[in-house]
Amino acid sequence: MITAKMLSGLKLNGNIYWVMVLRLLLAMGLFTICRIGFYAFNVNYFPEITVNSFLRILYGGLRFDLTAVLYINIIIILPTVIPLDLRFTRRYQAVLKYIFFFFNGIALAMNVADFIYYKFTLRRTTADIFDEFGEGLDGTAIFFRFVFDYWYAVLFLLALLWLMVKLYNLTKVQGPMLKNRVSYYTFGILFIPLLAYLFVGAVRGGFRHSTRPITLSNAGEFVEHPNETNIVLNTPFSVFRTIGKNKIKKLTYFDDEQKLNALFNPVHIPNDTTTFQPENVVVIILESFSKEFMGIFNRDKENYPGYTPFLDSLVQHSKAFQYSFSSGRKSIDAPPSVLAGIPTFSVPFVLTPFANNDFKSLASILGKEGYHSSFFSGQPNGAMGFTSFSRLAGFEHYYGMDEYGNNDDFDGIWGIWDHKFLPYYADMLNSFPQPFVSTIFTVSSHHPFVVPKEFEGRFKGGKQPILKCIEYTDYALREFFKRIAGEPWYPNTLFVFTADHCSSDIIFDESRTTSGLFSIPIFFFKPDNSLAGMEQQITQQVDIMPSVLGYLHYNKPYFAFGRDVFRENTTSLAFNYRDSYNLFMDKYLINFDGQQTIGLYNYRADRMVTENLKDKMPEVASRMEEKMKAIIQQYNNRMVDNELTVK
């Protein structure tokens, strides 16, 4: 039993437990500075934050910081509380100090990295970052290029590390404080279970029996808008909480299977009686081509010519859509969406535990109709998982940097320059037997936003660094089409254009909204000008596979989450995920958090998506929520049950 006499020898000044608390508070303080820095670096993405809402965010963030700091510093806490005299030696404390610097330094670096990376993904980095880029890319080159281009973030990190070292060194351990050895060991041993209780409660987010460990979704308690949860969170917490987690679980919004399928059914049963037309198909996926870069889609902007004169000219002879959306914000989101009709929600399909499910793509479906299939990307083989996905998707041949065979044309980071790889692509298409289905993924319109030396000064560019790259790739595409226009297979080919995702470089304020951040071009071009016309209906990446099949008059059942824009009369819509599920239908957009609708907006009239109509138009919100629930349930349950094909 600890008596008053025992405690009389305890002093707070230099007490090892008190010093430990001070050091943990130091880490907490640095995390808060990171949160402020995260907001400052990305303020344009959070236009609706007020002083009061930001203070609430800072308060809420402490809860997540505490959990992360305790996880990170458990290796410091345990050696500190073991009641041994060794703890007070200079060498022991020196070892603990450098362990503290190492692990907390990494945590700070993770937070600061998201100052920049958030612009590309629009969410805090999670554990799937470790699988995202694949094997082929030179991570060292990418790292040093980011360090060079975003030197101001590096300076911020260095300042944080300096502050961490300075303040840590102000804390000094003295002791043992208790001279009585019985008191010393008794207090030390009894303190361990107390600390364990406090630790578990802190990392769980509370001490009640009903309290569940806090997760990323708990950040919603402190915000008015879903995207603001990214300020509440910190990156180490987001990584810890998603390691080994399967975010896709079966749902039962609807018990009635008939009602579920009536609301949304990814099984397509064509009623086309026209004979199958085996025309060639070329799908061109453009790296980071936001719709705002193209003048033809932005005619409402006064004196705005855009940066894609060639693509603009093609759109005038294509079936194009004023409202077209990507499935995700990363390159790896695009191939499953575009080529297999499988969208991305919270986790890219290729990074889920269900990536090896049975599914069909344009390559595998058309392969059974006698098509030759190929997938091209100038990236190093294995990068972004394209090689493995193309094989799973049934593409017969993959052509990457290895097959290209000339590293002199490598840009040093991402792959072969577009103006070099596209002629190679043209030559390979000329060698393929018809009919063929082929996909190419361009690479040059990517950070660090440079063009080949021979083109420096040729393109005017603009305020955003990517714009000269957009002009360069547009030029490369013009030359590609000049090269193939005289080939015998060219008139008999359907060309499909889209982007993998929007760019992090933004021109117009409206492009930072949920609508704008997913707005990409999607258009279908046929050389005979038979598809000319701009349409107001909504389309999305997962519509591409059904639409190609519809154009070819494919009349067998197939599976896809999109719709055939040529043949089907179903409601046009688009869906994606950005901190909440988003559904575009008619002129409205809803944000659905998995339980309830949190926002309804007229995204066409309200370009900045600021007026929440949820309470003013409950019938529209209810109808769209029901549709979104059906889509999510079909997606989750079919993923888990491996039902991504027609039985």
Q: Tens digits of per-residue pLDDT, 58-88? A: 999 998 998 899 889 988 888 877 777 787 8
The yes-or-no verdict on residue 360 having pLDDT over 90 is yes
DSSP secondary structure code for residue 359 in this structure: B
Intervals of CATH 3.40.720.10 along the chain: 271-505+516-566
User: How far apart are the C-alpha atoms of 290 and 287, rounded to whole Å?
Assistant: 9
Mean pLDDT of 135-162: 83
Asked if residue 261 lies in contact with residue 360, where contact means CB atoms within 8 angstroms, the answer is no
User: How far apart are the C-alpha atoms of 529 and 534, rounded to whole Å?
Assistant: 13
User: How far apart are the C-alpha atoms of 373 and 72, rounded to whole Å?
Assistant: 48
Look up residue 266 and give its amino acid. P
Quick: pLDDT tens for 585-605. Answer: 999 999 999 999 999 999 999
Quick: pLDDT tens for 523-572. Answer: 999 999 999 999 999 999 999 999 999 999 999 999 999 999 999 888 99
The yes-or-no verdict on residue 7 having pLDDT over 50 is no
User: How far apart are the C-alpha atoms of 92 and 148, rounded to whole Å?
Assistant: 37
Dihedral sign from CA coordinates of 66, 69, 72, 77: negative
Q: What confidence score (pLDDT) does residue 9 get? A: 45
Spell out a b/e string for 295-318, using b for 16 or more CB atoms within 10 Å of the CB, else e. bbbeeeeeeeebbbebbbebbebb
The yes-or-no verdict on residue 196 having pLDDT over 80 is no
Neighbours of 188 (CB within 10 A): 18
Asked if residue 566 lies in contact with residue 554, where contact means CB atoms within 8 angstroms, the answer is no
The yes-or-no verdict on residue 219 having pLDDT over 90 is no
Q: What confidence score (pLDDT) does residue 235 get? A: 95
In 486-563 the beta strands, taken as DSSP E runs, fall at 493-499, 522-525, 533-540, 558-559
User: How far apart are the C-alpha atoms of 624 and 618, rounded to whole Å?
Assistant: 10
DSSP secondary structure code for residue 573 in this structure: E
Mean pLDDT of 368-372: 98
Neighbours of 192 (CB within 10 A): 13
Mean pLDDT of 168-197: 68
Look up residue 294 and give its amino acid. M
| Cis? peptide before 423, omega within 30° of 0 | no
CATH class in words for 271-505+516-566: alpha beta
DSSP secondary structure code for residue 592 in this structure: E
Percent of the chain predicted with pLDDT > 90:
69
Q: How confident is the model at residue 166 (pLDDT cuts 50, 70, 90)?
A: very high
Q: What confidence score (pLDDT) does residue 211 get? A: 43
The yes-or-no verdict on residue 129 having pLDDT over 80 is no
- Residue written as token pair 């049963």: 269
Q: What confidence score (pLDDT) does residue 55 get? A: 95
Q: What confidence score (pLDDT) does residue 195 get? A: 66
User: How far apart are the C-alpha atoms of 69 and 60, rounded to whole Å?
Assistant: 15
What SS3 state is found at 277?
coil
What SS3 state is found at 522?
strand
Residues 6+ apart with CB under 8 A from 529: 317
